[in-house]
């Protein structure tokens, strides 16, 4: 029996990762697609008058086996992939797109959906059922169901090609990241690097069977090298490698970018939209590109002066240390780190011993206990997909809320970054509640033979961020998986994650876990004071950098003709007006910008800043009432975390906050408001 298609006999119905083999995926996909098509056909063949139960509810349940297989395969393809899995992804992608088109362009099926939709006012549906009906109808309409016959084939072909191009993009970005290795054999070239960076590089070299010290483009290695290496020539080499990933060469993504953008525009225009950005934004809080562009431009105008001032200060500081050249991109992290250490009299290395991963993790769990009454118990007997993975049973009192899989450390089979996904969404089926199986993945520094995994403060906030996404899923309460958990509009989904980061700056929270991993000493009060004082260090630069990513995303999806220049030239032309550091010819981030070209953030990267506005405004409410206030937290859980996509996001927020969010709290919290 194929374990991907067999009901799990494990506690909670957990995935049988110990039995799932790579060779199971392809047969499972083929069988699951066949089953899904049969379920759809049964709905179409039903001779009864279309109703909510026999059409909308039945369609919401159809394809569950396919969803289960897809959730496991595609999550592992990002977290623990192989060459064969990447081949399978490309092989099944056309079949998945074909099935999707079979559903969305199915005339008899849409006819039944439309009949129920048109009779909706007389059906006496509850609010959740009405929401599902409306969203189902819109999803058909936005997926080509109303297209004339002549356009349907073109739409279907474009979607199939788009899915393949996105897979190729992600594969190339991963391959390009893994392709670069800097091997240092002369100890003099380690100048400036603290012991923990040197040790990690030594162990990386040993793992590769190399002598000396090895640095890669994986986040922990790359970030540390750029911040600490005193060797400017090598910093430039590593920076250029990072910023030319998949730009030219064997893993070039230039053609994939152009094709992805072209296909998205073609699809949007076939559906009657002026551009892809209009299509994508219609279902988000922002609604249209004019709102997004105005939002980004307004914040850029308010924050860029601060970023330019910060750069001027950095140049002056570097000059005072004898650096006579202009600050180039490969210099920024190095001099920024040095200035921060001098200004606030502490270093990231001094703080790391107080942020042992195990203690941070327990503190994050403790925060969820304090706010929402949740408990977390390690499940050592459940199988995992890699030895690094840990599983926790999450409960609210005696009620089982879900499983949380945590995968912390980098490896070549894992893409860079940090993210949260689900192996199973929360739903209720046949009166039985299915609680979610949630996955939290990061790329933190691995423990060494004599040192546990120690986090930077930035990694502490990253863990809180992704854990916020996990809570959004674990606390969901609904009947239909498409309306629960993180299945909300893109510019709202980051609110539950970003609000969690704020607790990292609260002394009361830090004092619950920040103890030296060797001595047990509580983090000194002066270190907390310095950490809080440094909270807004170069906030203007960081703000502008994120805004630039959003502006670049919108430029790629503006609907104008594809640029005749190359990818790097186009990116430079978009970024130049707001540049804070020099733009280097022949480099670009677009070829490795997986968020917008293979992830879900196309015409949506702005949503990080949009959600920051929401989260700052929301946490300001917590701060007014008490950051551990159970009443406010309970209301946040009831009105936002548990509600998924039951109502429009702006309605959910107003129900909790009592008003719409403003940017005031964000700009004030980051010190980006000019004081009179």
Instruction: Give the pLDDT confidence of 83-133 residue by residue, as tens digits.
Output: 999 999 999 999 999 999 899 889 999 999 999 999 999 999 999 999 999
* Helices 607-625 & 649-657 angle (0-180, nearest 10): 20
Confidence of residue 511 (pLDDT cuts 50, 70, 90): very high
**Tokens read off for 46:** 């039903």
End-to-end CA separation in angstroms for the chain: 72
pLDDT at 675 over 60: no
**Strands 432-434, 427-429: pairing kind:** antiparallel
* Mean predicted lDDT score pLDDT of the chain: 95
SS3 state of residue 402: strand
Q: Which of 546, 611, 609, 541 is nearest to 581 (CA)?
A: 541
Instruction: Give the pLDDT confidence of 224-280 residue by residue, as tens digits.
Output: 999 999 999 999 999 999 999 999 999 999 999 999 999 999 999 999 999 999 999
Q: Which of 85, 659, 22 is nearest to 415 (CA)?
A: 85
Which CATH fold topology does 11-146 show? Glutathione S-transferase Yfyf (Class Pi); Chain A, domain 2 (1.20.1050)
pLDDT (mean) for 9-19: 96
Q: Which residues contact 83 (CB under 8 A, 6 or more apart)?
A: none
Domain ranges of the chain: 11-146, 180-242, 353-538+608-669
Distance in angstroms (rounded) separating the CA atoms of residues 619 and 665: 9
Confidence of residue 655 (pLDDT cuts 50, 70, 90): very high
pLDDT at 544 over 90: yes
Distance in angstroms (rounded) separating the CA atoms of residues 419 and 111: 38
Provide the 10 A C-beta neighbour count for residue 488.
24
**Tokens read off for 158:** 């474009």
Distance in angstroms (rounded) separating the CA atoms of residues 126 and 119: 14
- pLDDT attached to residue 448: 85
Query: Exposed e or buried b for every residue in 12-26, given b needs 16+ CB within 10 A?
Result: bebbbbeebeeebbb
Provide the 10 A C-beta neighbour count for residue 216.
24
466 as an active site residue: the answer is yes
pLDDT at 150 over 90: no
Confidence of residue 676 (pLDDT cuts 50, 70, 90): very low
- pLDDT attached to residue 350: 84
- pLDDT attached to residue 303: 96
Q: Which of 617, 598, 597, 600 is nearest to 609 (CA)?
A: 617
Distance in angstroms (rounded) separating the CA atoms of residues 169 and 164: 9
Active-site annotation holder among 170, 379, 466, 571:
466
Distance in angstroms (rounded) separating the CA atoms of residues 318 and 324: 8
Confidence of residue 532 (pLDDT cuts 50, 70, 90): confident
Tokens 């008058």 correspond to 49
**Tokens read off for 603:** 């015409």
Provide the 10 A C-beta neighbour count for residue 624.
10
CATH 3.40.50.261 fits 353-538+608-669, yes or no: no
**Strands 390-396, 181-184: pairing kind:** unpaired
Instruction: Give the pLDDT confidence of 299-356 residue by residue, as tens digits.
Output: 999 999 999 999 999 999 999 999 999 999 999 999 999 999 999 987 777 889 999 9
Distance in angstroms (rounded) separating the CA atoms of residues 413 and 81: 5
Taking a C-beta distance cutoff of 8 angstroms, is the pair 452, 356 a contact?
yes
- pLDDT attached to residue 263: 96
Query: Exposed e or buried b for every residue in 241-267, given b needs 16+ CB within 10 A?
Result: bbbbbbbeeebebbebbbbbbbbbbbb
Taking a C-beta distance cutoff of 8 angstroms, is the pair 527, 511 a contact?
no
Instruction: Give the pLDDT confidence of 441-481 residue by residue, as tens digits.
Output: 999 988 988 899 999 999 999 999 999 999 999 999 999 99
Instruction: Give the pLDDT confidence of 183-230 residue by residue, as tens digits.
Output: 999 999 999 999 989 999 999 999 999 999 999 999 889 999 999 999
Distance in angstroms (rounded) separating the CA atoms of residues 133 and 140: 11
Higher pLDDT, 358 or 527: 358
């Amino acid at each position: 029996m194929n374990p991907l298609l067999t009901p799990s006999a494990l506690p909670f119905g957990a995935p049988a990762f110990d039995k799932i083999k790579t060779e199971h995926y392809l047969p499972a996909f083929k069988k699951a697609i066949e089953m899904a098509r049969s379920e759809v056909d049964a709905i179409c063949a039903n001779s009864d008058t279309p109703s909510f139960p026999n059409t909308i509810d039945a369609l919401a349940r159809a394809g569950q086996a396919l969803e289960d297989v897809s959730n496991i395969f595609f999550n592992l393809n990002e977290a623990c992939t192989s060459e064969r899995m990447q081949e399978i992804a490309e092989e099944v992608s056309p079949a998945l797109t074909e099935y999707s088109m079979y559903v969305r362009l199915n005339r008899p099926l849409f006819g039944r959906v439309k009949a129920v939709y048109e009779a909706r006012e007389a059906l006496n549906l509850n609010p959740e059922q009405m929401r599902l009906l409306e969203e189902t109808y819109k999803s058909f309409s936005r997926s080509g169901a109303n297209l004339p016959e002549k356009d349907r084939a073109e739409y279907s072909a474009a979607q199939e090609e788009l899915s393949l191009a996105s897979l190729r993009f992600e594969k190339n970005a991963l391959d390009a990241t893994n392709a670069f290795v800097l091997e240092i054999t002369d100890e003099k070239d380690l100048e400036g690097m603290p012991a923990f960076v040197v040790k990690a590089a030594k162990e990386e070299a040993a793992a590769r069977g190399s002598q000396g010290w090895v640095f890669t483009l994986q986040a922990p290695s790359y970030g540390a090298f750029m911040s600490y290496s005193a060797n400017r020539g090598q910093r430039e080499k590593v920076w250029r490698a990072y910023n030319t990933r998949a730009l030219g060469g064997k893993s070039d993504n230039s053609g994939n970018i152009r094709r992805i953008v072209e296909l998205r525009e073609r699809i949007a225009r076939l559906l009657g939209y002026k551009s892809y950005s209009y299509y994508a934004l219609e279902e988000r809080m922002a609604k249209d590109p004019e709102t997004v562009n105005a939002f980004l431009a307004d914040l850029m105008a308010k924050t860029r002066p601060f970023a330019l001032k910060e750069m001027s200060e950095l140049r002056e500081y570097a000059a005072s240390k004898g650096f006579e050249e202009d600050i180039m991109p490969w210099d920024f992290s190095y001099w920024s780190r040095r200035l921060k250490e001098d200004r606030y009299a502490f270093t990231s290395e001094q703080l790391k011993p107080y942020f042992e991963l195990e203690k941070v993790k327990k503190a994050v769990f403790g925060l969820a206990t304090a706010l929402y009454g949740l408990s977390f118990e390690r499940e050592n007997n459940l199988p995992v997909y890699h030895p690094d993975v840990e599983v926790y049973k999450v409960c609210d009192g005696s009620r089982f809320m879900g499983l949380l899989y945590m995968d912390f450390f980098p490896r070549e089979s894992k893409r860079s970054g940090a993210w949260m996904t689900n192996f199973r969404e929360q739903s209720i089926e046949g009166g039985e509640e299915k609680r979610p199986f949630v996955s939290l993945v990061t790329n933190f520094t691995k423990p060494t033979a004599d040192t546990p995994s120690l986090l930077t403060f930035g990694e502490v906030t990253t863990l809180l961020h992704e854990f916020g996404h996990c809570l959004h899923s674990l606390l969901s309460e609904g009947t239909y998986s498409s309306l629960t958990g993180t299945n909300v509009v893109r510019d709202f989904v980051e609110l539950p994650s970003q609000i969690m980061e704020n607790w990292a700056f609260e002394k009361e929270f830090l004092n619950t876990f920040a103890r030296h991993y060797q001595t047990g000493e509580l983090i000194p009060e002066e270190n907390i004071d310095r950490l809080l004082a440094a909270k807004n260090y170069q906030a203007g630069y960081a703000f502008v950098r994120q805004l630039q990513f959003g502006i670049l995303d919108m430029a790629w999806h503006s609907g104008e003709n594809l640029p005749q220049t190359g990818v790097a030239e186009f990116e430079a032309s978009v970024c130049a007006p707001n540049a804070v550091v020099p733009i280097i010819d022949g480099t670009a981030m677009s070829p490795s910008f997986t968020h917008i070209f293979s992830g879900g953030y196309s015409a949506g990267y702005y949503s990080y800043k949009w959600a920051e506005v929401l989260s700052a405004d929301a946490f300001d409410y917590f701060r007014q009432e008490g950051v551990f206030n159970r009443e406010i937290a309970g209301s946040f859980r009831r009105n936002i975390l548990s509600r998924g996509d039951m109502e429009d996001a702006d309605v959910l927020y107003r129900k909790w906050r009592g008003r719409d969010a403003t940017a005031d709290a964000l700009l004030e919290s980051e010190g980006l408001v000019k004081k009179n």
